[in-house]
Structure 1
Amino acid sequence: MVFLFCVLVIGIAGTRITRVVDQLADRTGIGEAAAGAVLLGGSTSIGGSVLSVTAAWNGHPELAVSNALGGIAVQTFFLAVADMIYRRANLEHAAASAPNMMQNGLLILLLSVILMTPLLPDVTIWGIHPVTPLLFITYVYGIYLVQGARNMPMWAPTKTRETREDTPDDTTRMPSPARLWGEFTVLLVVLGFAGWTLEPSATVIAAQTGLTQTIVGVLLTAVSTSIPELVTSIAAVRRGALTLAVSGIIGGNAFDTLFTAASDVAYLGGSIYHTMTDATLFWVCLTLVMSAVLMMGLIRRERSGPGRIGLESVLILLLYLGGVWLLLSQL
Structure 2
Amino acid sequence: MIGLADASLLLVVAIFAVSAGCIGVAGWRLSLVADKLADRTGMGEIIAGALFVGAATSLPGAITSVTTALQDAPSLAVGNALGGLTAQTAFIAVADLFYRRANLEHAAASTTGLAQGVLLVALLAVPLIASVQPPITLWGIHPASLLIPVGYGFGLKLLARIQDEPMWNPVQTDETRETVSDPDESEDATSDRSLWLRFFLYAGVTAAAGYFIGESSIALVDKTPLSESAVGTLFAAVANSLPELVTAIAAVRIGAVSLAVGDVIGGNAFEVMFLCVADFAYDGSIYEAMTDQDRTTGLIAMLMTAVLLLGMLRREKFGIGKIGFESALVLLLYAGSVALLFV
Q: Same fold (TM over 0.5)?
A: yes
Provide runs of 4+ in structure 1 moved above 3 Å.
none
Alignment partner for residue 200 of structure 2, among 161, 174, 185? 185
**Which shifted more, 22-31 or 117-126?**
117-126
- Give the Cα–Cα distance (whole angstroms) in 2 for the partners of residues 17 and 308 of structure 1: 27
Q: Point out the structure with the larger helix share.
A: 1
Match in the other structure for 2:251: 236
Alignment partner for residue 79 of structure 2, among 25, 41, 66? 66
| Equivalences for residues 69-80 of structure 1 within 5 A | 69-80=82-93
Q: Deviations over 1:89-133 (max 9, x none)?
A: 010110111111010001100111111112222111110001111
For structure 2, list consecutive stretches of 5 or more residues without a partner in the other structure: 1-13
SS at match of 1:10: helix
- Give the Cα–Cα distance (whole angstroms) in 1 for the partners of residues 182 and 146 of structure 2: 38
Letter in structure 2 aligned against 1:307: G
- TM-superposed CA distance for 1:309, in Å, is 2.1
- TM-superposed CA distance for 1:203, in Å, is 0.6
Q: Does 1:122 align with 2:154?
A: no
Match in the other structure for 2:304: 290
For structure 1, list consecutive stretches of 5 or more residues without a partner in the other structure: none
Letter in structure 2 aligned against 1:79: I
Alignment partner for residue 264 of structure 1, among 279, 282, 287? 279
Q: Does 1:299 align with 2:313?
A: yes
SS at match of 1:70: helix
SS at match of 2:341: helix
Match in the other structure for 2:222: 207
Match in the other structure for 1:170: 183
- Give the Cα–Cα distance (whole angstroms) in 2 for the partners of residues 108 and 47 of structure 1: 22
- Give the Cα–Cα distance (whole angstroms) in 1 for the partners of residues 121 and 207 of structure 2: 26
Match in the other structure for 2:261: 246
Q: Alignment identity in percent?
A: 47
- Indicate if the aligned counterparts of 1:99 and 1:146 stay in contact, CA closer than 8 A: yes
- Give the Cα–Cα distance (whole angstroms) in 2 for the partners of residues 263 and 87 of structure 1: 40
SS at match of 1:145: helix
- Give the Cα–Cα distance (whole angstroms) in 1 for the partners of residues 137 and 99 of structure 2: 47
Q: Deviations over 1:265-304 (max 9, x none)?
A: 1111x11101101111110111111111111111111111
- TM-superposed CA distance for 1:171, in Å, is 5.4
Match in the other structure for 1:35: 48
Letter in structure 1 aligned against 2:266: G
Aligned-CA RMSD value? 1.0
Match in the other structure for 1:319: 333
Match in the other structure for 2:288: 274
- Indicate if the aligned counterparts of 1:87 and 1:309 stay in contact, CA closer than 8 A: no
Q: Does 1:87 align with 2:94?
A: no
Letter in structure 2 aligned against 1:74: A
- Give the Cα–Cα distance (whole angstroms) in 2 for the partners of residues 189 and 9 of structure 1: 11
SS at match of 1:192: helix
SS at match of 1:274: coil
- Indicate if the aligned counterparts of 1:26 and 1:171 stay in contact, CA closer than 8 A: no
Q: Deviations over 1:116-167 (max 9, x none)?
A: 1122221111100011110000011111111111111111000000011111
